[in-house]
Chains A and B, each alone.
Chain A
Amino acid sequence: MTDPRAILEMTGIRKEFPGVVALDGVDFRMFPGEVHALMGENGAGKSTLIKTLTGVHGIDAGTIVLGGEPVAFGEPSQAQHAGVSTVYQEVNLLPNLSVAENIFIGREPRRFGRIDWSAMRRRAEVLLAGLDLHLDVSADLGTQSIAVRQMVAIARALDVSARVLVLDEPTSSLDAGEVERLLKVVRTLRDEGMAVLFVSHFIDQVFAVADRMTVLRNGKLVGEYRIEDITPVDLVTKMIGKELEALEDIEEATHRHSGGEVFLRTEGLSRKGAIAPFSLEIRSGEVVGLAGLLGSGRTELARLLFGADHADGGTLRIDGDPVAMRTPRSGMAHRIAYCSEDRKTEGLVGELTVRENIVLALQAARGWTRPLSRRRQDELAARYIDALDIRPAAPEALVQDLSGGNQQKVLLARWLITEPRLLILDEPTRGIDIGAKTEIQRLVAKLSDDGVAVLFISAELEEVLRLSHRVVVLRDREVVAQKDNESLTPDEIMAVIAEGSGT
């Protein structure tokens, strides 16, 4: 199937990890001036295919031809030199350096060997402004939100005049506006003749931007399709190998919440620089959705409730009693669980196994003097691996070897086993495939039926609306509205968010 027009042609790629065949005879090709989407469930092998292309992993069989020349990159820098610019799935940047440096490090503007700092800052500002991001580029990247980091990683990849641009789930932490801007940039690059590889679990984004798609399932090639020749339903069926059950039944169930006891109540709770005073009630069995743009204070609000940050004003009551929520430990003592959006630095321990990661929070809540028996650990791990369909279903696999979406599920399992009364989910479906996403949404609905209160944060408004009984809208670090979700639409929420905001 060689085609002279292809800029990249990968044939018969095979990659084995100890115990897993991640890729088995996969063919993949890209054409200049085309956006090619790589589709598949969590663990299908998308990121692995990308990493074999860029030289992070060697291949066990197969050939890679780039621009007519056979290539075998030994390390990512070689791929970069050959014109393959990549944004990896887990944002891989340097938190200790400035935003500007993260964009330019390795190819800083120089004069006589000396780094030209002011030119670098200027160019960084211009580049980020192109993505509609305006911030102090000399600030440390570590102080920025995940979304900003993702944009910075993209800006870094865009700056090189590459022949092939690889974006592995670039939109997972972005909100609708940012996604739109990114897709616009991608289209422009495509029109300039670049070949773009795009991975996303958002089917609508893929259909909005891709010209061609390749579907993988369990490390094997399912097929390559032109966008005109496939429908979203077909695509999902090909990805998961069976038909997806409808989501409608969740919607039915959730909107019938009658309201239990008030579990948590805040009065004028606030933290300087993070969130303005807000009053909020969460009842047992209620699902409260937080909606708002990035940086609107969603995560900050959640962190106060859990004690990850402590408030400097207002009161917080649990079951009617005032509580000083100063540390995550006090949050855990009141059976509040917080599933962080930043799974890499705040969540998972990559060097530990799936089982160890799953029992971590429960163990911490019990105290280290009362260790969980190994049998109980195995039992719990097995139950949740099964419930969330974590793949591979190997409790002793290292978390760092799991695909991104499966890591997210492990993190979720960790908090579920603590049997919380309030579960705070900060972007729980980030990077999760459509099948698993449905599972997680079902799970939230079920928890709510069992009387667990859920605070649900997601950049995807549809998802928030589908699940929540009540939606709290934030803007500029302030709670601006609380609405019962009877028949709210995304547009109504967007209108509230947009109202009064000058930009």
Chain B
Amino acid sequence: MTALARVTAYRPQQRHLPMLATLALLVGAYAYGASQYTAFGSGQVVFNLFINYSWLLVVAVGMTFVILTGGIDLSVGSVVALSTVLSAELLGEQGWPAAAVVVAVLAVGLLLGTGMGALIHYFEIQPFIATLVGLFFARGLCLTISTEAPSIDDGFFTVIAQTQIPLPGDSHVSISVLIALAVVAVAGYLLHHTRFGRTVYAVGGSEQSAVLMGLKVARTKVSVYALSGFCSALGGLLLVFYKLSGDPLSAIGTELDAIAAVVIGGTILSGGSGYVLGTVLGVLVLGMIQTLIDFDGTLSSWWTKIVIGGLLFAFIVLQRLIARR
């Protein structure tokens, strides 16, 4: 039994390993930046990461739930774009009040996600295919609503966009950051302290076992896609707060960034293991790389993609190695 206890005590650390690696990477990248560029050392660089990527963070949190069940959601970028276009259209052309727009946008995201979840569960369509359909559908909808990118001058939206929340040390964050952090907190709570969250892990561990154990697999599977749709819509709203425009061609390829962030954050693509906190780190790593390249000034931004590709590769190999033990 003592040997057994030793083996089992070792395990949780292993499970945290990818997340710890990401954390180390993040700290390393920051230290490197700070040693190269004096401006980099200020705390505001880190806060800017949150400001610039709060929308992606929210999207990636939704994606985390999906990937934890062993699924994938390719539609998130299109749903983000749809949310921005819908906001601009409803606020501008239709003249809806801001609160109604927010509710409508979130409802559309929730609905789209639920639809895809239902396709996946009840018609047994591969998540890849079902959400690819969602991707085209939402993007197409964007372009039928508007082919231009009108800017938004609604009072409520502008206030949220421009309010700066001061922090000690002469730094500040935006309201969007607070919203994103609230989403992270709620997601963490859901995953670790509610029956729904544990069922998400169970489905990712083995869907067949989860069914035989009498868990609510159908409801959970549909819910994670609904949740991801909702998060994408909310991410879209945060993007509106950030850019104050509704662009039908925005957020192209966001699904890949979100998946990359989730995987770099240590969530296993086949499901069943991972943490939202890892996803936060994953998003920060992506942002940090972009910031480093921006600071350098001579590198083309395609380097971001190359570095992300390299990182993804490294993390997937790391996961394999851990899984094999």
Contact = CB atoms under 8 A, between A and B. Distances in A.
Interface residues of A, number: 35
Contact of B199 (A76, A79, A106, A477): A106
A134 B4 CA distance: 11
B94 to A, nearest CB: 38
A343 to B, nearest CB: 15
B305 interface: no
Contacts of B212: 56, 76, 86, 88, 92
Contacts of A56: 211-212
B195 interface: yes
Interface string B118-148: 0000000000000000000000000000000
Interface string B93-113: 000000000000000000000
A346 to B, nearest CB: 13
Interface string B182-211: 000000000011110011011011101111
Contacts of B195: 106, 108, 110, 115
A135 interface: yes
Given A139-B8, A143-B7, A295-B1, A113 B194 contact: yes
A114 interface: yes
A93 B207 CA distance: 10
Given A113-B194, A143-B11, A94 B202 contact: yes
B321 interface: no
B193 A115 contact: yes
Contacts of A105: 198-199, 202, 213, 215
Given A76-B211, A105-B198, A97 B205 contact: yes
B5 interface: yes
A281 B213 CA distance: 45
Interface residues of B, number: 33
B216 A77 contact: yes
B83 interface: no
Contacts of A110: 195
B272 interface: yes
Contacts of B15: 140
A210 B192 CA distance: 42
Contacts of B198: 97, 101, 105, 108, 115
Given A134-B1, A140-B11, A114 B214 contact: no
B205 A95 contact: yes
A96 B201 contact: yes
A94 B4 contact: no
Contact of B206 (A80, A94, A295): A94
Interface of A: 56, 75-77, 79-81, 86, 88, 92-97, 101, 105-106, 108, 110, 113-115, 134-136, 139-140, 143-144, 156, 273-274, 295, 477
15 contacts: A75-B214, A77-B215, A86-B212, A93-B206, A94-B206, A96-B272, A97-B201, A97-B205, A105-B198, A106-B199, A115-B194, A135-B5, A156-B213, A273-B3, A273-B7
